[in-house]
Structure 1
């Protein structure tokens, strides 16, 4: 019985092999080059199942048609010499190669993101933060779709980061991006938070001269035992050194795809000096974005470069989901409207909004403009089709994709994140106080948030006593509040990591004297289009200070009442007010604060917040959001 079963299996195996054996000379169809029929039978050449078509790589990417034809010529000559095809068949294959147009176009994939802000650890700072490990997985998936690719960032890769990156001077983020394989990062405003020299260190490497948390990376990420710097190129076409007139970083980078060069022009918004501490942009000049791009176009064309992508850290907003473009608005619209039509694609950022738009350029022709949102939540998958004869982009397809917290983590980065998470565990977990409920930075219709109230109160509390400033009011910029303050069950403990994620800039408090008229000017500057303000920024105010405004009024006539502890603010009287050092230097466009007199420096903002929490051991409640009234 066993012998019969063995014989049956043996016969079945022999039949199976015979069914799949290749018979030289057999064929079922002609060789096709794309959709072009060569009229040459796609014969089986030998017992290895090789066919005429399988010898010719017509599905590969070719940098030009001549390269493909040369390939076909070489392969078919070999086949003809070995007697596998005839001279006539070779001629037909060469004729079809020319007719197929293979090599006349080339598809290149760009993988774009913006406003990463050091969000390397999953769920830190936000429950929707997928972390750099999942982000890397998605990038790898897109890279695998096309070996001809580039990974690019439109700025704010670092700065305003959660503690796992920020504690280590954002070196973890640079090291993670090195492992992923980034090509270019256009500098954003937050790249300048700690000044030009620190940004140059991010590019070139070396440990921070005074910070003990610098240079603590894993051995594989260090060079000579020190921080290695970015292995990708920072770009800053519109940022010049005031003393030398030269750009701080190259204005553009070029990547060659099989002989087809694509230029990436990178820059930040011209208004960077108004939203970064003056010390961060000292000695630097920031030029107009569109003018900068347009001036570079002749230089690129002189090098034979016709494919141009702009990476710009400036943006807008639109509705319709992450790929929507309904009602697109913001500075990016005017910038694109003035761009030279040689620009083929604009990858934008800064506003933390995701959109996928067509916006007219200077010639009135639509150009694709994308933004991926923020914090690695999305990636923009872009396909460029290049005409290899003209070297120009002839088609752009783009799609914003969600990274997702369910995406598998890339094992190539989990050790890096775990390394820094372990190093930061002790300072991050230190309990600094309690809250009674989660405190949100979401603003009501007037622009006031519960967390804004609490932070302003903490700053007033730190500076109202004799010797600390004698402040009667404190003002906090909403952009400096980077996350909600979560309620950690069961007791509402607040950790240093929580507080740092909310206020990651390390600004110090400054108390100054302003008269009532200056305080009104301060508040009138909150509104877009007024006193040089580019967008609405409603300042958060401390307990005891109340004001009302009418949004429909003209600029400088919107604030209709101001009181301190119930008493109307006198335009001629002097008042001691507290702001952070960023605002004190005129940050966010509040230039009137630079005129404040009798300045007194105070605690770092996170230290003031910790002291406030400890002064309320039963727990700090969310702010009431009743200090600002919008009519």
Structure 2
């Protein structure tokens, strides 16, 4: 062989050996594929999804979601990886459309079983009907605190085939977690720990009686606490599923955004460095952000999108090498349908349609909006507060309050101009009963000031007010002094600090929920046993009977006046 050829051959051999050496570690690398879903809220059908960044960067509205669309996408993705893991970050149920809520959300649990959900963190809305109902929904059976809804979709209910996880929800009597803190799954020969947690402030956003005896502990501390136990079982790959969220100005599909803000950021920063992926929820925002080297994802809400996540794992070292993700909008007809899921959705709709289509009362407008004027009050918020006052009057109610978060959708009418049972239940899906209590004028003023503690007014909105109750507020004043002195009035008469007034509200905020602790100080409390949905429908019927259909009134003076 000529010297030149020998040199080339030697160089090629060295290059081949070097190539083998560089490839050898890759033999230990494996991709673990996950799909994440959060805040489904029982949205079994597709709905509208509006986002920025469409054609030419414009705001775009598309039809997205639905369990049929999600099932079709998952089937295709599982063809790429049969060991794909479907996981969730809470609020799969609760605050649901009537098609799910009228059946105690059992159709949604059934749909998630069909989709192959592996595990999900519990969310605050899973506690809407209390711990007993949550455990029933997990384990199955018909012994429910909601006998009018449970086991009415089917004669039996088998429960969830997936696990709800919550490392930070502790039974104060047993000192043990109410639900499993984690679940260990295996994919491509790698043990993966799915660790669940829910926001520690859950007691401020759910009915107090439903979570009596439970302690909601710090999210990061609770998650970190289980890592030694997991490592002892040979786990080195950790995926956090946490129902806590943040906000960002970045687009939902922007890779590695760096401007994430909110409660989730502090939680992530305090997590063990070995945790590289955090699947979040609660804030209904789509994002793919990096915080201290960790990827933090969220997939909006209602099944409008799914997060496709890839963990590259070094099997030899039992560690995560890299994490990447993208958010995919679930637009119908992108994938071939799954007949059994289509048939299931059709069955749910048929079982629901007759009851949901029953007319309640004629409206004076096609839509009564929950959109708040200047961010303060809405036509629908006022209407619900008026309905609460009407139902509370037999118990002496003079003033009624409604929290913005309890008004879940616009009130719409059908083609004939009637609001139906389905329309009403979409507005008020919780089934809260109404409470009437005594509060002094001074307590009511304190209550109003609690609207601006921290960023609560921005994140949760101002309380909606019943007819005849008005006040002014000044955004230029410091927290605690924003209600204008002398402006709080009932039918034009200033409230007296020492006088007592009868106040009506749903049981959730009446117990101090939504961070309004002043409500909990009310005395001489009466549980009316009237459900919020029944209150709303009774009010709509009365308006029609009085020949003043809801929504037909001309513009009225605002009940909340913001000084400029």
TM range (shorter): 0.7 to 0.9
SS at the partner of 2:173? Answer: coil
Aligned to 1:418: 346
Does residue 460 (structure 1) correspond to residue 385 (structure 2)? The answer is no
SS at the partner of 2:298? Answer: strand
Cα distance in 2 for residues equivalent to 1:264 and 1:627 = 48
Aligned to 1:564: 490
Does residue 577 (structure 1) correspond to residue 503 (structure 2)? The answer is yes
Does residue 227 (structure 1) correspond to residue 227 (structure 2)? The answer is no
Aligned to 1:383: 310
Which residue among 543, 555, 567 is the counterpart of 2:467? 543
Say if 1:470 and 1:576, in contact at 8 Å, map to a contact too.
yes
Aligned to 2:230: 300
Say if 2:64 and 2:305, in contact at 8 Å, map to a contact too.
no
Matches within 5 A, 1:591-602: 591-602=517-528
Cα distance in 2 for residues equivalent to 1:144 and 1:100 = 28
Does residue 341 (structure 1) correspond to residue 290 (structure 2)? The answer is no
Cα distance in 1 for residues equivalent to 2:535 and 2:457 = 29
Say if 2:65 and 2:305, in contact at 8 Å, map to a contact too.
no
Matches within 5 A, 1:27-426: 99-123=23-47, 128=63, 130-209=65-144, 211=147, 213-215=149-151, 226-324=156-254, 325=257, 327-360=259-292, 366-407=293-334, 409-426=337-354
How high is the TM-score relative to the length of structure 2?
Answer: 0.88
Say if 1:529 and 1:535, in contact at 8 Å, map to a contact too.
no
Give, in angstroms, the shift of residue 128 of structure 1: 4.5
Say if 1:313 and 1:348, in contact at 8 Å, map to a contact too.
yes
SS at the partner of 2:107? Answer: helix
* Cα deviations by residue, 1:5-38 (Å, 9 ceiling, x for unpaired): xxxxxxxxxxxxxxxxxxxxxxxxxxxxxxxx99
Does residue 477 (structure 1) correspond to residue 407 (structure 2)? The answer is no
* Cα deviations by residue, 1:494-535 (Å, 9 ceiling, x for unpaired): 0011101110111111111111111111111112428x9994
Change (3 A) 1:559 1:161: same
SS at the partner of 1:447? Answer: coil
Aligned to 1:444: 373
Does residue 606 (structure 1) correspond to residue 541 (structure 2)? The answer is no
Say if 1:527 and 1:537, in contact at 8 Å, map to a contact too.
no
Say if 2:258 and 2:290, in contact at 8 Å, map to a contact too.
no
Cα distance in 1 for residues equivalent to 2:417 and 2:248 = 37
* Cα deviations by residue, 1:403-451 (Å, 9 ceiling, x for unpaired): 1245454322122222222222222111111222211112222421121
Change (3 A) 1:99 1:610: closer
Cα distance in 2 for residues equivalent to 1:405 and 1:147 = 23
Cα distance in 2 for residues equivalent to 1:625 and 1:159 = 35
Cα distance in 2 for residues equivalent to 1:494 and 1:319 = 37
Say if 1:528 and 1:536, in contact at 8 Å, map to a contact too.
no
Say if 2:185 and 2:193, in contact at 8 Å, map to a contact too.
yes
Say if 2:64 and 2:330, in contact at 8 Å, map to a contact too.
no
Cα distance in 2 for residues equivalent to 1:124 and 1:502 = 17
Say if 1:125 and 1:501, in contact at 8 Å, map to a contact too.
no
Say if 2:46 and 2:304, in contact at 8 Å, map to a contact too.
no
* Cα deviations by residue, 1:319-349 (Å, 9 ceiling, x for unpaired): 1221344642211011112111111111100
Change (3 A) 1:447 1:323: farther
Aligned to 1:52: none
Cα distance in 2 for residues equivalent to 1:105 and 1:124 = 40
Change (3 A) 1:336 1:552: farther
Say if 1:142 and 1:381, in contact at 8 Å, map to a contact too.
no
Say if 1:113 and 1:376, in contact at 8 Å, map to a contact too.
yes
Say if 1:315 and 1:351, in contact at 8 Å, map to a contact too.
yes
Choose 405-414 or 521-530, whichever is displaced more.
405-414
From the CA coordinates, give the structure whose radius of gyration is larger.
1
Say if 2:313 and 2:321, in contact at 8 Å, map to a contact too.
yes
Give structure 1 stretches of 5+ with no counterpart.
1-36, 40-91, 219-224, 361-365
SS at the partner of 2:142? Answer: coil
* Cα deviations by residue, 1:249-274 (Å, 9 ceiling, x for unpaired): 11011111233111111011101111
Cα distance in 2 for residues equivalent to 1:295 and 1:533 = 34
Cα distance in 2 for residues equivalent to 1:125 and 1:276 = 27
Aligned to 1:89: none
SS at the partner of 2:141? Answer: coil
Say if 1:262 and 1:307, in contact at 8 Å, map to a contact too.
yes
Cα distance in 1 for residues equivalent to 2:557 and 2:277 = 43
Moved over 6 A (4+): 124-127
Does residue 508 (structure 1) correspond to residue 436 (structure 2)? The answer is no
Change (3 A) 1:272 1:357: same
Cα distance in 2 for residues equivalent to 1:269 and 1:432 = 37
SS at the partner of 1:614? Answer: helix
Choose 113-122 or 594-603, whichever is displaced more.
594-603
Change (3 A) 1:38 1:615: farther
Structure number with the bigger relative contact order (C-alpha 8 A, sep ≥ 6) is: 2
- Over the aligned positions, Cα root-mean-square deviation in angstroms equals 2.5
SS at the partner of 2:133? Answer: helix
SS at the partner of 1:294? Answer: helix
Change (3 A) 1:190 1:391: same
* Cα deviations by residue, 1:21-75 (Å, 9 ceiling, x for unpaired): xxxxxxxxxxxxxxxx999xxxxxxxxxxxxxxxxxxxxxxxxxxxxxxxxxxxx
Give structure 2 stretches of 5+ with no counterpart.
1-11, 51-61
Cα distance in 2 for residues equivalent to 1:299 and 1:462 = 53
Cα distance in 2 for residues equivalent to 1:504 and 1:125 = 21
Give, in angstroms, the shift of residue 105 of structure 1: 0.7
